[in-house]
Amino acid sequence: AALLPRPARGLTDRLYCGRRVCYEVLGVSRQASKAEIARAYRQLARQYHPDRYRGEPAGGEGNGAQAAHEKFLLIAAAYETLKDEETRKDYDYMLDHPEEYYRHYYHYYSRRLAPKVDVTIVILVTVCAISVFQFFSWWSSYNEAINYLASVPKYRIQATEIARQQGLLNKTKEKGKNRRSKEEIREEEEEIIKDIIKNKIDIKGGYQKPKIYDILLFQILLAPFYWCKYIVWYCWWIYCFTIKGQEYGVEEKLYIIRRYMKMSQSQFDSLEDHQKETFLERQLWIRENYEVYKREQEEELKKKMAMDPRWKRYRRWMKNEGPGRLTFIDD
């Protein structure tokens, strides 16, 4: 019996109740229920709580408020260990297997250092914060585009003419008691011009009007719907154009061209209409035609770079003073 390992050998000062057995601290057995553990804790807490202690002996461990306070901390540690089923299971395993020293350290500190907040809540709050920032950032970009277009003479003159035809600018000039200052009239006219620009001009790309369905939160919520929609569309594509051999429509041709160009939908939508018409005229949905067009664009880009003065200076610098040159500098 003396050679058998005892549970006390696995107790350390930095784990659970230290050198004391948590069951003995609360005065309960290892088979005690959660209700019995809670009842024992409340009784001992009323006796040794610093606010309730009035100088009674602290259970044989010395007298005074300091000993009672230490006793109370030990009772609280024992209760925190035994009230949770998972922690109690790890503690019972330590008592039964004291030789697995490092395993006990891992389980103890992994639970102590684990986040107390649910990970789902953290992810939800993060996604909501990103979505709010994303939405207001898009609105800021959209307002910057409107302010820029309002400063361009071409669009400003057109918006002013439309406002005059609709009689919106005449309303700003009032007489009598309702007469306002020139600054107020100017500000109101500016808002009218911006509203007309918002309604008449189709802004695409990164400066387009933000939609609430484009933010991250709604994209995540609608992801199953988008996946099902894509699967249905893909099956329809295979059936119509692969099995039945139907001819491509305009939308299908533009989709194939966009895939060849490796552009997103918003990037492709930002292109001018005459560019898309050129793509269709050259039949770029055919792979061979697109490869020819791609080579032509690359050659044109090389010619532009060759004629660009800045590119010429860069090539001259690379030839004469670039990183590949090694020279001796005389003092």
Residue 142 near residue 209 (C-beta atoms within 8 A): yes
CATH number of 22-113: 1.10.287.110
pLDDT at res. 225: 92
Per-residue pLDDT, 163 = 81
Distance CA 277, CA 127 (A): 40
**Rounded CA separation 26/42 (Å):** 10
Of 15, 22, 14, 8, the C-alpha closest to 82 is 22
- Per DSSP, the residues of 226-249 read HHHHHHHHHHHHIIIIIIS-PPP-
Whole-angstrom Cα distance, residue 45 to residue 275? 80
Give the pLDDT of residue 224.
92
- Report the alpha-carbon angle 46-55-57, nearest 5: 80
Quick check: 283 and 257 in contact, CB under 8 A? no
Q: Determine contact, residues 18/94, Cβ cutoff 8 Å.
A: no
Task: Give the whole-angstrom CA distance, residue 320 versus residue 277.
Answer: 45
Local confidence pLDDT in tens for the 331 residues of the chain? 333 344 444 566 678 887 888 898 888 988 888 899 999 988 888 888 777 666 554 444 445 677 778 888 888 888 888 888 888 888 888 888 887 777 877 777 777 766 666 778 888 899 999 999 988 888 888 888 888 888 888 888 888 888 888 777 765 555 555 666 778 778 888 888 888 888 776 666 556 777 888 888 888 998 999 999 999 999 999 999 889 888 899 999 999 999 998 888 877 877 888 888 999 999 999 999 999 999 998 988 888 877 777 777 766 766 665 554 444 445 4
pLDDT of residue 328: 45
pTM: 0.48
Query: What's the pLDDT at 200?
Result: 74
Side chain identity at 279, as an amino acid letter? F
pLDDT in the model for residue 253: 92
Q: How far is CA 165 from CA 77, 160, 225, 287, in A?
A: 81, 9, 45, 50
Q: Give the integer Cα–Cα distance in Å for 136 and 134.
A: 6
Q: In this structure, are residues 201 and 152 in contact, taking their beta carbons and an 8 Å threshold?
A: no
What residues does each domain of the chain span?
A: 22-113, 120-172+181-210, 247-319
Residue 2: what pLDDT?
A: 39
Answer whether 47's CB lies under 8 Å from 41's CB. no
